[in-house]
């Protein structure tokens, strides 16, 4: 810390102090105080002012020189908050407290990013294993492709679903930059999802009933993905014979509910509160090596950001019903 910088910063206070000393000198002069006393008064206050000025200078110089010397010696500058730096004046103490809080906040942010990065690596590893299954099936089916055309289409559709899932997972943190809420025909959205999965319905002999109507405010692209993930779970955990899926809607004054019901293996009551947790596979998921437990987590994340609600009801070995609730509010009208 250079003296000229210190003097430039605090010169106003020092000169102000000298000015008030001079005023006191004139005041006592007018009172006809003895000249010797006045000069003594002047010398004492001048010495006191100069002492304080240089005392504060060396106090700050010692701290800042030590601080920046220590900072220069550190390869990782952010470790300065963990060093044994003892502030010797009020401003330095407040500065160190601010540095500590900033460092603490940054570490928490970095820890969050590191956890997300680790979660993403784990998910990608599971996802790669999951994608290998339809790829292997395709290689086997290709040798007799004329008879297995429908099965090949189904495996390609599975691959497409897996690719969509990892893409939406990557985008889920910034989904608000990529969606547009507008009035959508719910029947058309469901029809698009059913058409996309028609090969799976036919090959797995699943009885499908669709009775959907109504206009909802949502993003069509995101809803197609969400419904596709829900149907994918219905296919994965279906009954082996005579499986049924019903997609219906019901409308009230304040909301429209879309229900996806299946008579598959159901969910254990103890697993229900955790079905939307990241990487949670549950009782049935542990039996399937390909289950990542990410589908419903991504669905819940997107549903929340779209402003809708999702509820899952289930009875083990009997049925599962997923309900998506679209609110009718003036908010969507204003946004539109």
Do 197 and 223 touch, CB atoms closer than 8 A? no
The rounded distance, in Å, linking the Cα atoms of 34 and 196 is 106
Angle at 285 between CA 266 and CA 140, to 5 degrees: 110
pTM of the model: 0.58
Per-residue pLDDT tens over the stretch 11-43: 777 777 777 777 777 777 777 767 777 778 778
Summarize pLDDT for 203-222 with one digit per residue, the tens: 888 899 999 999 999 989 88
Instruction: Return all residues near 17 (Cβ < 8 A) that are at least 6 apart.
Output: 49
Q: Is 317 left (phi over 0), alpha (psi -120 to 50) or beta?
A: left
pLDDT of 334: 44
CA–CA distance, 209 with 201 (Å, rounded to integer) = 11
Predicted confidence (pLDDT) at residue 330 exceeds the cutoff of 60: no
Q: What is the pLDDT of residues 139-176, one digit of tens each?
A: 666 666 656 666 666 677 777 777 777 777 666 665 55
**236-254: average pLDDT:** 88
Give the Cβ contact number of residue 231 at 10 Å. Answer: 25
Coil/strand/helix, residue 31: coil
State mean pLDDT over 48-59: 82
Query: For the packed helices 149-171 and 295-306, what is the interaxial angle rounded to 10 degrees?
Result: 50
**Strand, helix or coil at 241?**
coil
């Amino acid at each position: 810390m250079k003296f000229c910088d210190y003097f430039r910063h605090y010169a106003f206070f020092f000169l102000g102090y000298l000015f008030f000393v001079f005023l006191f000198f004139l005041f006592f002069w007018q009172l006809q105080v003895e000249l010797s006393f006045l000069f003594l008064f002047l010398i004492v206050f001048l010495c006191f002012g100069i002492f304080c000025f240089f005392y504060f200078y060396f106090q700050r110089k010692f701290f800042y020189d030590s601080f920046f010397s220590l900072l220069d010696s550190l390869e990782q500058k952010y470790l300065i908050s963990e060093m044994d730096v003892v502030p010797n004046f009020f401003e330095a103490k407040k500065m160190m407290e601010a540095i500590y809080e900033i460092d603490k906040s940054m570490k928490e942010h970095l820890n969050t990013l590191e956890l997300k990065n680790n979660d993403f690596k784990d998910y990608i590893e599971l996802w790669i294993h999951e994608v290998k299954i339809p790829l292997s099936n395709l290689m086997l089916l290709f040798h007799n492709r004329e008879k297995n055309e429908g099965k090949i289409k189904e495996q390609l559709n599975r691959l497409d679903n897996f690719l969509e899932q990892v893409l939406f997972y990557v985008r889920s943190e910034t989904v608000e930059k990529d969606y547009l809420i507008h009035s959508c025909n719910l029947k058309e959205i469901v029809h698009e999802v059913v058409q996309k999965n028609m090969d799976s319905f036919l090959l797995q002999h699943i009885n499908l009933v669709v009775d959907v109507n109504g206009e909802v405010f949502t993003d069509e692209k995101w809803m197609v993905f969400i419904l596709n993930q829900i149907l994918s779970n219905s296919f994965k955990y279906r009954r082996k014979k005579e499986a049924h899926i019903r997609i219906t809607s019901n409308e009230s004054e304040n909301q429209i509910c879309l229900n996806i019901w299946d008579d598959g293996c159901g969910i254990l009551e103890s697993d229900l509160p955790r079905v939307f947790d990241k990487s949670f596979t549950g009782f049935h998921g542990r039996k399937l090596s390909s289950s990542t437990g990410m589908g419903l987590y991504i669905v819940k994340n997107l549903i929340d950001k779209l402003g809708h609600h999702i509820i899952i009801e289930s009875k083990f070995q009997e049925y599962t019903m997923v309900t998506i609730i679209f609110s009718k509010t003036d908010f969507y009208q204003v946004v539109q």
